[in-house]
């Protein structure tokens, strides 16, 4: 059977599904699911897997992986959910991946609910593009593939709870569930004008803690050791790794510390985010930050830093380019003109390609822009076409790529 015939079969299955897709999208946007709100994230996972269970998929909520002792906060994150057409022993086959978490706090869904403006071709609401529309496209594409019987291999769907924080738990699940997959399709939002992503940065998250010594700031300042002053020195040192022409960002975005204005601060902490275009750059900066942290400036203070590289960069590769050609051909079959782009932020696609060695394409979800802002929007006219693109690209990849060899890789967290 040729791609045109596959398209006809998919068109028949999906021809009356757009209204149902939009209804499910409205439901998902109405669920507050910021990364740190495990209840909301897990509600998302339960809804997605219930839908897939009704469609005949084998669904599972994965147990939490071991949490590093110095990053106990990970215990409070949501869970990874999966769905499969076959038993795990059959292998992952083609994988669809997406994340359930957003950056918007609890209450945003009520304050800025889902809105659909057909005339303006706009759907709005928290996480509508990044990436709840992508999740809807994943579900309907997966069900269409199952109903059609056209996919000659297993299909695996994975739903991440913590991508916005670098997937500290989801990356472990990806490493456990996807080795040997034939290809990975990531449903991050596509760019307006038919853009899919061929390369994107990697990311890292680090947590710096400073221990000082309290003292009265007026009466006996000299007896204290200011953790806040030490943190200020550390932040300036860390910022020196910034190299924008190289595509390397280092940002200290959250700081706190001290107990009162007239006390020498006995503690301080900061959370640091970095992005990088090559794994080599990421590892170099993490090593440099660790070395910097080990050298105190304020006598009497000590410092500890946890975390490290989270999501590897999606770097251009021959197998990635070959996958894009298949996607481009699928787009042509659907009457879509697609182009590749580089994206200046990280996603789980980079981990699948870089750490697991799987042919991977990113930003296959419905098109949208202004993500992570109150102005985020998705183009509803692209919801069904992008769903069909995912399904047709999966059929192309299943015939072009064999089972990939299991990678020889560092375990997740080895770069931390």
The percent of residues in the chain predicted with pLDDT above 70, rounded, is 96
Kind and range of the H or E run holding 184: strand 183-186
Instruction: Provide the pLDDT for residue 183.
Output: 97
- Residue 25 to residue 309: CA distance in whole angstroms: 32
Instruction: Provide the pLDDT for residue 291.
Output: 97
- Residue 304 to residue 290: CA distance in whole angstroms: 9
Tally the domains of the chain.
Answer: 2
Residue 415, in any domain of the structure: no
| Residue 415: band (very low, low, confident or very high) from pLDDT cuts 50, 70, 90 | low
**pLDDT, tens only, 319-336:** 999 999 999 999 999 999
Instruction: Identify the sign of the CA torsion 33, 36, 39, 41.
Output: positive
Contact 330, 185 (CB under 8 A): no
Q: Do 189 and 252 belong to one domain?
A: no
Instruction: Provide the pLDDT for residue 71.
Output: 86
Q: Specify the residue for token string 């060695």.
A: 357
Kind and range of the H or E run holding 93: none
Half-sphere exposure at residue 104, Cβ-oriented, CA atoms within 13 angstroms: 27
Cis geometry, peptide bond prior to residue 131 (ω within 30 degrees of 0): yes
Contact 333, 185 (CB under 8 A): no
**pLDDT, tens only, 227-274:** 999 999 999 999 999 999 999 999 999 999 999 999 999 999 999 999
Tell which of 311, 341, 363 closes a domain: 311
Instruction: Provide the pLDDT for residue 411.
Output: 44
Q: Do 342 and 352 belong to one domain?
A: yes
**φ, ψ at 209 (rounded to 5°):** -120, 135
**pLDDT, tens only, 350-372:** 999 999 999 999 999 999 999 99
Instruction: Provide the pLDDT for residue 223.
Output: 97
Identify each DSSP E strand in 39-182 by its residue range.
58-61, 81-84, 94-99, 115-117, 122-124, 155-160
Q: Residues with catalytic annotation?
A: 101, 163
> Does residue 177 sit in helix, strand or coil?
helix
Q: Do 371 and 279 belong to one domain?
A: no
pLDDT at 197 exceeding the cut of 60: yes
Residue 113, in any domain of the structure: yes
- Residue 48: which domain range? 3-200+313-402
Tell which of 311, 345, 365 closes a domain: 311
Q: Do 189 and 209 belong to one domain?
A: no
Q: Are strands 365-369 and 263-264 parallel, antiparallel or unpaired?
A: unpaired
CATH, residue 284: 3.30.70.360
- Residue 167 to residue 35: CA distance in whole angstroms: 10
**pLDDT, tens only, 215-235:** 999 999 999 999 999 999 999
Contact 323, 360 (CB under 8 A): yes
Instruction: Provide the pLDDT for residue 407.
Output: 59
pLDDT at 153 exceeding the cut of 70: yes
| Residue 51: band (very low, low, confident or very high) from pLDDT cuts 50, 70, 90 | very high
pLDDT at 408 exceeding the cut of 80: no
Q: Do 56 and 183 belong to one domain?
A: yes
Taking 3-state DSSP, the helix, strand and coil percentages for the chain, each rounded to the nearest 5, stand at: 40, 25, 35
Q: Do 305 and 323 belong to one domain?
A: no
Q: Do 195 and 209 belong to one domain?
A: no
Residue 407, in any domain of the structure: no
Tell which of 289, 311, 333 closes a domain: 311
Instruction: Provide the pLDDT for residue 402.
Output: 73
Taking alpha carbons only, the member of 414, 351, 412 closest to residue 172 is 412
Q: Taking residues 380-391, report their average pLDDT.
A: 98
pLDDT at 80 exceeding the cut of 70: yes
Q: Taking residues 39-44, report their average pLDDT.
A: 98
Q: Do 209 and 321 belong to one domain?
A: no
Tokens encoding 371: 């993500």
Q: Do 232 and 276 belong to one domain?
A: yes
pLDDT at 88 exceeding the cut of 70: yes
- Residue 85 to residue 104: CA distance in whole angstroms: 33
**φ, ψ at 142 (rounded to 5°):** -65, -45
Q: Do 120 and 41 belong to one domain?
A: yes
CATH, residue 395: 3.40.630.10
pLDDT at 139 exceeding the cut of 80: yes
- Residue 118 to residue 122: CA distance in whole angstroms: 6
């Amino acid at each position: 059977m040729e791609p045109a015939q596959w398209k006809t079969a998919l068109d028949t299955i999906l021809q009356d599904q757009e209204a149902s897709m939009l209804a499910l999208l409205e439901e998902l946007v109405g669920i507050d699911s910021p990364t740190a709100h495990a209840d909301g994230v897990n509600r998302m996972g339960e809804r997605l897997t219930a839908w897939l269970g009704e469609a005949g998929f084998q669904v599972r909520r994965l147990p939490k992986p071991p949490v590093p002792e110095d990053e106990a906060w990970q215990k409070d994150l949501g869970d990874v959910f999966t769905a499969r057409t076959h038993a795990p022993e059959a292998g992952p086959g083609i994988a669809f991946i997406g994340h359930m978490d957003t950056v918007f706090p609890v209450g945003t869904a009520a304050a800025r609910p889902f809105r659909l403006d057909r005339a303006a071709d706009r759907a709005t609401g928290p996480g509508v593009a990044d990436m709840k529309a992508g999740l809807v496209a994943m579900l309907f594409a997966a069900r269409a593939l199952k109903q059609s019987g056209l996919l000659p291999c297993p299909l695996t769907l994975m739903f991440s709870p913590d991508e916005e924080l670098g997937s500290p738990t989801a990356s472990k699940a990806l490493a456990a569930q996807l080795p040997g997959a034939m290809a990975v399709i990531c449903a991050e939002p596509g760019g307006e004008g038919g853009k899919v992503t061929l390369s994107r940065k990697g990311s890292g998250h680090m947590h710096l803690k400073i221990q000082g010594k309290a003292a009265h700031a007026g009466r006996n300042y000299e007896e204290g050791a200011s953790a806040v002053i030490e943190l200020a020195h550390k932040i300036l040192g860390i910022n020196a790794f910034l190299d924008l022409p190289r595509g390397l960002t280092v940002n200290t975005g959250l700081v706190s510390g001290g107990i009162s204005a007239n006390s020498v601060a006995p503690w301080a902490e900061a959370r640091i985010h970095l992005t990088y275009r090559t794994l080599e750059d990421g590892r170099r900066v993490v090593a440099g930050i660790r070395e910097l942290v080990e050298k105190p400036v304020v006598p009497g203070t000590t410092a500890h830093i946890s975390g490290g590289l989270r999501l590897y960069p999606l770097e251009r590769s021959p197998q990635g380019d070959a996958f894009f050609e298949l996607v481009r051909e699928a787009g042509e079959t659907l009457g879509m003109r697609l182009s590749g782009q580089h994206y200046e932020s990280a996603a789980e696609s980079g981990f699948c390609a870089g750490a697991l060695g799987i042919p991977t394409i990113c930003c296959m979800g419905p098109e949208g822009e202004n993500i992570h802002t109150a102005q985020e929007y998705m183009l509803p006219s692209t919801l069904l076409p992008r769903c069909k693109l995912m399904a047709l690209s999966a059929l192309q990849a299943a015939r072009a790529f064999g089972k990939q060899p299991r990678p020889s890789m560092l375990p997740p967290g080895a770069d931390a």
